[in-house]
Chains A and B, each alone.
Chain A
Amino acid sequence: MPSNHKIQRYVAPVEETPVAAVDAVKFDGKASSVWGDAWKDMRSRWLTWACLALIALIAVVALFPQLFTSQLPTGAACDIANFRQAPGNGHVLGTDAQGCDVYSRLIYGTRASVTVGLVATILATLVGCVIGAIAGFYGGWLDAVVSRLGDIFFAIPTVLGAIVVMQVMPWERNALTLAIVLAVFGWPQIARIMRGAVLSAKNADYVTASIALGVSRAKILVKHVVPNSLAPVIVIATVSLGVFIVSEASLSFLGLGLPLSTASWGADISAGRATLRTDPALIFWPSLALALTVLAFMTLGDIVRDALDPKARARR
């Protein structure tokens, strides 16, 4: 170092600090999109596969219950003389107070519970997305009216609202009507989330750029705003699937859900309540099935949320 320097001067050897081209394009591996990345992240977690396996099993059971049991859960298959038998003797989990096979009721009950949950979720998500997106995107009086309408439904607890509706129309108690009733009280939550996501997405520069290209408002909503707002909705939808299944169980438990002739977990939990102390197994099995199903969907929702949030990914 020359001595006229007041301060030491150091220049790194170029070999040790090679300078790359400015803003060079470098890709490694295959192209990835937001959803592609999320899936890649989910794929690497065993919990994802556990949830998916459980959900697949539940789906198969719901679609083809006869594959899992040769006995029917209701009607003639039940012999009142055989009531509350211990496991064995052809009944894997024993029989209930009506003499019906507990295991077959569990298997056949899957369909009712899952159908109600799925249909209610799909309906609530569709309605909620459409209404929330329109309210958020167009704003103004439309937003005010729709948001207040949502608030009204939001103020009524889902189960309470469903109790009232199911009470006044006892002749229409089946899985579909139950799902519709649950969706009617469940959509405002989805709509709220969608509205918020749309509000932030619609101010993005790419939306302004599309307006400046001459793309119509409706097309912008469908092509740019909605796809960018779906992530939080999907997360909430998977969670609410679990909530709807529980609601069906609650309503059936109260005797306001599905008719007794239809096997459902809620109805069985309700029936098992009477013998909680003498024969807890009757309430245990349907409760376990319900808990596992809800847990599978909710955990999947959590995994999806983590996978879509890069910060949550980095934390792990």
Chain B
Amino acid sequence: MSEGFTITPDPSREGETPLLQVRDLQITFKTVGGEVNAVRGVSFDLYQGENLAIVGESGSGKSTTATAILDLLAENGRVSGGSALFNGKDLTKLSRKEMEHIRGREIGYVPQDPMSNLNPVWNVGFQVKETIEANTSLRGKAAKDRVIEVLKEAGLPDPASRLRQYPNQFSGGMRQRVLIGIGMSARPKLLVADEPTSALDVTVQRRILDHLGTLTREHGTSVLFITHDLGLAAERAEKLVVMYKGQVVEYGDSKEILADPQHPYTKRLVAAAPSLASRRIQSAVEGKSTPGTVGDAIAVARSEAAQSEVATEAPLISVDNVTKIYNISQGGFRKTQFKAADNVSFQIAKGKTMAIVGESGSGKSTIAKLFLKLEDITSGTMTFDGRDVGSWPKRELLEFRRRVQPVFQDPYGTLDPMRSIGASIAEPLQTHGIGDKASNRKTVAELLEQVSLPADMANRYPNELSGGQRQRVAIARALALKPEVLVLDEAVSALDVLVQAQVLQLLADLQAELDLTYLFITHDLGVVRMVADDVTVMRQGQVVEAASTDEVFENPKEQYTIDLLVAIPGGKFEFGKSA
């Protein structure tokens, strides 16, 4: 087991005692399979007014560390060693009562999911007031005034009239502001923010983090960020703790670490982080380059030759003035109309990748559903290979289904948990009456190999697979019918950054090998830069800007596109510059 490491006082903070001193923290969980050491020897110093970010992928122990500091570990977890000194008191040794006194009052907390962290049956004012009354001596009118003040500070417009509103009347961003208000309400010395904005759109995320930065600076509050986003961490925190499998692999000045990562894991993480500076992934198959690490492949710039061969032939997919109107029932017989897609047009050439990018509610997923014929088009036309998708004859629908296949977002929902991997991949073959049992078994093995998974996985069930592996199985299933088009609806959004880069590389290789055309739906502009030839930016159902990827990134025409680009966390950093 690791011994932890020695923390020396920061040279610039000579003589000052850190607000939070975590030393060799060990956390153990009791599970059915025995004891699991989730955190093994985490140490760091956090000074007054300083921001520190713990970065890592899921399962790295970053959130566990934060919950241990707040003494909110799940029942089966315990701190099995080390200490966390906060103002001289060891948080891991305090009684429940003493901890309750510190929590909220001296250490504030902003949770991850704004949708589930406000109680839906109480109005917002009540919930903020509850916190204030628990942590201060304010009561009655004074408490109410404080609620308004807190919400105003958190950047909620018109707080006085919003007190009586319920969480369901608030957008995600507004709820997060309320949660920040609650976290900051007692003027804590330390604020723990666990993935505070990962559920929000990038532009909202930027505004909220800017605001949080101003607020905490004003009050001299230290912030402990927990995040999976390296760019966000570097932008919002001076100090970085990089965690991997429960251990600290690198610790120090965040800009220094990003510019010059030393540990192989950090190097990998920095190389895979999508940013504005990323380049399109090149297929190792196509370029005949050595299939090195993921990072190497990303760094390869697009060759001029590949770009100039943009053919003048007819596009494989053509979307013309497509509109989709949903009738939303308002209870009873009243209905309102909602335009999910408004006069959308774009073309995709064979073998190319078109990314549709937008925030939630932009209509990007609606376009995918329409093209997959999962919903009917209200007006306009979509053509595929010169034929109208909308009026595709029913008896030839199977043919359309064979040629156009989807991959969805949620790796945990995309495979039927009751069926084996082999059965899931073979389903398209059976449905289309291709091959017999023996030949299908062979095809399944080939498909698994194509997505770099072992053939004996066919007998396994989805519960044994990681998110990235499930997503690769979903791609294998989509490829079973040898389709021409893959519709990738946020297909990599739920994956950790390294796994995401790996799947994107796989998609690039498959595209080169099988001459596939991709319709790539995403909210992440960094990912767009890595995979797309052309981009269509959508907002509230309408196309804002459409151009080649290089053009959109280097010379955006519309203000909204610029806003989106600026909002990418860490967008202005050059990752691994001197590496």
**Are A17 and B372 also in contact (CB < 8 A) when A22-B498, A25-B453, A25-B457 are?**
no
Q: Say yes or no: A214 contacts B454, CB within 8 Å.
A: no
Q: Say yes or no: B2 contacts A214, CB within 8 Å.
A: no
**Are A12 and B502 also in contact (CB < 8 A) when A6-B12, A34-B417, A206-B414 are?**
no
Q: Say yes or no: B2 contacts A16, CB within 8 Å.
A: yes
**Are A12 and B11 also in contact (CB < 8 A) when A22-B502, A23-B466 are?**
no
Q: Say yes or no: A31 contacts B459, CB within 8 Å.
A: yes
Q: How far is the CB of A9 from chain B (nearest CB, A)?
A: 4
Q: Say yes or no: B251 contacts A206, CB within 8 Å.
A: no
Asked if B409 is an interface residue, CB under 8 A from chain A, the answer is: yes
**Are A9 and B251 also in contact (CB < 8 A) when A209-B406, A213-B428 are?**
yes
Asked if A280 is an interface residue, CB under 8 A from chain B, the answer is: no
| Interface bits B173-194 vs A (CB < 8 Å: 1, else 0) | 0000000000000000000000
Asked if A278 is an interface residue, CB under 8 A from chain B, the answer is: no
Q: How far is the CB of B566 from chain A (nearest CB, A)?
A: 27
Q: Say yes or no: B454 contacts A6, CB within 8 Å.
A: no
**Are A6 and B466 also in contact (CB < 8 A) when A208-B406, A211-B374, A212-B372 are?**
no
Q: Say yes or no: A17 contacts B245, CB within 8 Å.
A: yes
Asked if A314 is an interface residue, CB under 8 A from chain B, the answer is: yes
| Set A12, A35, A37: member contacting B250, Cβ < 8 A | A12
Is the contact region of chain B dominated by helix, strand, or loop, or is it mixed?
Answer: mixed
Asked if A7 is an interface residue, CB under 8 A from chain B, the answer is: yes
Question: B74's closest neighbor in chain A, by CB?
Answer: A314
Asked if A8 is an interface residue, CB under 8 A from chain B, the answer is: yes
Q: Say yes or no: A6 contacts B11, CB within 8 Å.
A: yes
Contacts of B405 in A (CB 8 A): 212-213
Q: Say yes or no: A10 contacts B251, CB within 8 Å.
A: yes
Question: A216's closest neighbor in chain B, by CB?
Answer: B431
How many angstroms from the CA of A35 to the CA of B419 in the assembled complex? 11
Q: Say yes or no: B461 contacts A32, CB within 8 Å.
A: yes
How many angstroms from the CA of A313 to the CA of B414 in the assembled complex? 24
Q: Say yes or no: B499 contacts A316, CB within 8 Å.
A: no
Q: Say yes or no: A23 contacts B498, CB within 8 Å.
A: yes
**Are A17 and B463 also in contact (CB < 8 A) when A6-B10, A212-B372 are?**
no
Q: How far is the CB of B328 from chain A (nearest CB, A)?
A: 16
Asked if A155 is an interface residue, CB under 8 A from chain B, the answer is: no
Q: Say yes or no: B11 contacts A3, CB within 8 Å.
A: yes
**Are A11 and B249 also in contact (CB < 8 A) when A3-B11, A227-B418 are?**
yes
Q: Say yes or no: A8 contacts B8, CB within 8 Å.
A: yes
Highest count of chain B CB atoms <10 Å: which of A41, A212, A228: A212
Instruction: Mark out the residues of chain A between 193 and 240 whose CB falls within 8 Å of any chain B CB in the assembled complex.
Output: 204-206, 208-215, 224, 227-228
How many angstroms from the CA of A33 to the CA of B463 in the assembled complex? 7
Q: Say yes or no: B2 contacts A17, CB within 8 Å.
A: yes
Question: A224's closest neighbor in chain B, by CB?
Answer: B416
Question: B251's closest neighbor in chain A, by CB?
Answer: A10
Asked if A164 is an interface residue, CB under 8 A from chain B, the answer is: no
Contacts of A1 in B (CB 8 A): 8
Contacts of A210 in B (CB 8 A): 427, 431
Contacts of A12 in B (CB 8 A): 2, 5, 247-250, 263
Q: Say yes or no: A205 contacts B413, CB within 8 Å.
A: yes
| Interface bits B425-462 vs A (CB < 8 Å: 1, else 0) | 00110011000000000000000000001100101110
Q: Say yes or no: A23 contacts B502, CB within 8 Å.
A: yes
How many angstroms from the CA of A34 to the CA of B459 in the assembled complex? 13
Interfacial residues, chain B to chain A (CB-CB below 8 A): 2, 5, 7-12, 31-32, 75-76, 238-239, 244-245, 247-253, 256-257, 262-265, 268, 294, 372, 374, 397-398, 401-402, 404-406, 408-410, 413-420, 424, 427-428, 431-432, 453-454, 457, 459-461, 463-464, 466, 468-469, 474, 477-478, 481, 498-499, 502
Asked if A277 is an interface residue, CB under 8 A from chain B, the answer is: no
How many angstroms from the CA of A32 to the CA of B462 in the assembled complex? 9
Q: How far is the CB of B78 from chain A (nearest CB, A)?
A: 15
Can you list 24 contacts pairing A with B, beta carbon distance less than 8 Å? A5-B256, A6-B253, A7-B12, A7-B238, A7-B253, A9-B252, A10-B5, A11-B262, A11-B263, A12-B263, A17-B245, A17-B247, A25-B453, A31-B420, A31-B464, A36-B461, A41-B32, A205-B410, A206-B424, A208-B406, A209-B406, A213-B401, A214-B402, A314-B31
Asked if A19 is an interface residue, CB under 8 A from chain B, the answer is: yes
Q: Say yes or no: B406 contacts A19, CB within 8 Å.
A: no
Q: How far is the CB of B8 from chain A (nearest CB, A)?
A: 5
Contacts of B428 in A (CB 8 A): 213
Q: Say yes or no: A10 contacts B248, CB within 8 Å.
A: yes
Contacts of B502 in A (CB 8 A): 22-23
Q: How far is the CB of A2 from chain B (nearest CB, A)?
A: 10
How many angstroms from the CA of A3 to the CA of B463 in the assembled complex? 50
Asked if A171 is an interface residue, CB under 8 A from chain B, the answer is: no
A-B residue pairs, 3 tightest by C-beta: A9-B252, A214-B401, A205-B413
Contacts of A141 in B (CB 8 A): none
Interfacial residues, chain A to chain B (CB-CB below 8 A): 1, 3, 5-12, 14, 16-17, 19-20, 22-23, 25, 27, 31-37, 41, 204-206, 208-215, 224, 227-228, 313-316
Question: A12's closest neighbor in chain B, by CB?
Answer: B249
Q: Say yes or no: B247 contacts A34, CB within 8 Å.
A: no
| Set B247, B257, B468: member contacting A23, Cβ < 8 A | B468
**Are A17 and B453 also in contact (CB < 8 A) when A23-B499, A205-B413 are?**
no
How many angstroms from the CA of A16 to the CA of B40 in the assembled complex? 11
Q: Say yes or no: B401 contacts A212, CB within 8 Å.
A: yes
| Set B7, B262, B454, B468: member contacting A8, Cβ < 8 A | B7
Contacts of B245 in A (CB 8 A): 17, 20
Contacts of B2 in A (CB 8 A): 12, 16-17
Q: Say yes or no: B413 contacts A9, CB within 8 Å.
A: no
How many angstroms from the CA of A98 to the CA of B397 in the assembled complex? 74
| Set A9, A11, A33, A228: member contacting B420, Cβ < 8 A | A33
Known pairs A7-B253, A8-B9; list 5 more (Cβ under 8 Å): A6-B12, A19-B263, A33-B463, A210-B431, A224-B418
Q: Say yes or no: B464 contacts A27, CB within 8 Å.
A: yes
Q: Say yes or no: A206 contacts B415, CB within 8 Å.
A: yes
Question: B294's closest neighbor in chain A, by CB?
Answer: A22
Q: Say yes or no: A5 contacts B252, CB within 8 Å.
A: yes
Q: Say yes or no: B463 contacts A37, CB within 8 Å.
A: yes
How many angstroms from the CA of A16 to the CA of B461 in the assembled complex? 33
Q: How far is the CB of A39 from chain B (nearest CB, A)?
A: 13
How many angstroms from the CA of A227 to the CA of B416 in the assembled complex? 9
**Are A25 and B469 also in contact (CB < 8 A) when A33-B461, A205-B413, A224-B416 are?**
yes
| Set B263, B431, B477: member contacting A17, Cβ < 8 A | B263
Contacts of B416 in A (CB 8 A): 204, 206, 224, 227-228
Contacts of B372 in A (CB 8 A): 212
Q: Say yes or no: B76 contacts A314, CB within 8 Å.
A: yes
Contacts of A208 in B (CB 8 A): 374, 406, 408
Q: Say yes or no: B474 contacts A19, CB within 8 Å.
A: no
Q: How far is the CB of B46 from chain A (nearest CB, A)?
A: 11
Contacts of B459 in A (CB 8 A): 31
Contacts of B415 in A (CB 8 A): 206
Contacts of B424 in A (CB 8 A): 206
Q: How far is the CB of A79 from chain B (nearest CB, A)?
A: 58
Question: B465's closest neighbor in chain A, by CB?
Answer: A25
Question: B246's closest neighbor in chain A, by CB?
Answer: A17
Q: How far is the CB of A71 from chain B (nearest CB, A)?
A: 49
Contacts of B409 in A (CB 8 A): 205
How many angstroms from the CA of A214 to the CA of B418 in the assembled complex? 20
Highest count of chain A CB atoms <10 Å: which of B245, B250, B427, B432: B427
How many angstroms from the CA of A215 to the CA of B410 in the assembled complex? 21
Question: A310's closest neighbor in chain B, by CB?
Answer: B463
